[in-house]
Amino acid sequence: MKTITLILSIFLSSLNFLSAEISEKNNFDITIHVKGLVCDFCARSVEKTFSKTEVVERIKVDLDKGLIELQLTEGSTLSDKKIQKLIKASGYALESIERNK
């Protein structure tokens, strides 16, 4: 019985972890594909540049996939033109923009 309870607990906590992951992924409003993101300094550069923008609440940089994910503050927007300008100011090149919401 103890073993079953333990297995069930592990299973449930895994589900919980998985749902948290999915929920976090869905929280990002914009996914930006960027060219030239090859090192931590590059990632740091775009992170700092976007963080200074008031409408950006949270930013996640994925070097492996060469993308930036943005969560905006409630009710705010960020135009494609502004995104392109910020990427260029960071020193990189914009590939594409996906709107998740």
Partner 1 sequence: MIILKKSFFRLLLAIILTQATICILEARPISYPNSWTVMQQYNWEKTTVHIHYSPNAKNSIGFLGAYYEKEKDRLYSLQWNHLIFRKNQKKSQSNLYSKIHLGRLNKEISQTNVFHSAFNLSYDWETRKHFLLYAAEVEYTDDIGLKSTTFHQKARIGIAPYVAPYGKLHTWVMLQFEHHPDDSDSDNHFILTPMLRFFKGDYLCEIGLNSNNQILFNSIIRF
21 vs 62, which CB is nearer to partner 1? 62
13 vs 70, which CB is nearer to partner 1? 70
| Count of residues of this chain found to bind partner 1 when the rule CB under 8 A is applied | 24
Q: How far apart are CA 49 and CA 31, in angstroms?
A: 16
Closest separation between CB of residue 30 and partner 1, Å?
18
72-80 contacts, C-beta under 8 A, 24 or more apart = 72/29, 72/30, 78/30, 78/53
- Residues of this chain that interact with partner 1 (CB under 8 A) are 34-36, 38-45, 48-49, 61-64, 66, 89-93, 95
